[in-house]
Amino acid sequence: MKKLADEIDNANSIAVLTGAGVSTASGIPDFRSANGIWQEDQSREYYMSREYFHKDPEDFWVKYKEIFRLKLLKNYAPNHVHRYLREMEQKGKQISIVTQNVDGLHTAAGNQHVIEYHGNLNTATCPACGMQYPLVHVMTEQVPHCIQAGCGDILKPDIVLFGDPITKHDEAEAAVQQADLLLVMGTSLFVSPFNLLPVYAWDGRKPSGLINRESTPMDDQFEFVIHADLSRTIKELKKEG
């Protein structure tokens, strides 16, 4: 813990990869841990796919809003883990956050450089005309439609569905390669190609740390590995720093 805190203190630029474990303290369910929501019902992956959206967009939206608890999204707020990253930025460090989370809480916490690897729940876009709509419009009807004159198409949420291309990978890779230190927090590193990002730090032989409640398939790619509750670990790091 002390060695990792020293690395954080000494780094001028830090790339931070985050997953669901960062947002659980805000009340948002963990999706991919051993007890996560995807483990409850594997069919959710099919329903949250590009294929299913095009097959049955109306039922897709019913299931999407239920699975992601959209009506509760406005009740979530950044927690002390999000604020810790913002505090480092305020101290003059260059912080680049690459997040798997789609809740928008890193941006809400005030971080300036956030790469939302899997998109964001707060907006949806019309596939026909490209008009983007905020969450308030998405929640006005069970199946949100475009209201532009002559359009009326069913909106598609601005998250990466199963089967969608990842458009942010090159930007995320560059953030990792340009940083002095890689810090990975609250992710199981099961999802590809996101789990390839730590390899770029390992290949470059730069310091890297992993903080996650459970072990991951990528543990051996890190110099520092801490298996513990993320919230408590961040508090300990702040004491050591």
- Residues counted in the chain: 241
Answer yes or no: is 211 a known binding residue.
no
CB atoms within 10 A of CB 183: 27
The set of catalytic residues is 118
Q: What is the spatial distance between Cα 1 and Cα 241, in angstroms, rounded to a whole number? A: 10
The annotation status of 134 as a binding-site residue, yes or no, is no
According to the annotation, is 60 in a ligand binding site? no
Is 126 annotated among the ligand-binding residues?
A: yes
**Binding residue numbers:** 126, 129, 146, 151
**Binding residue numbers for Zn(2+):** 126, 129, 146, 151
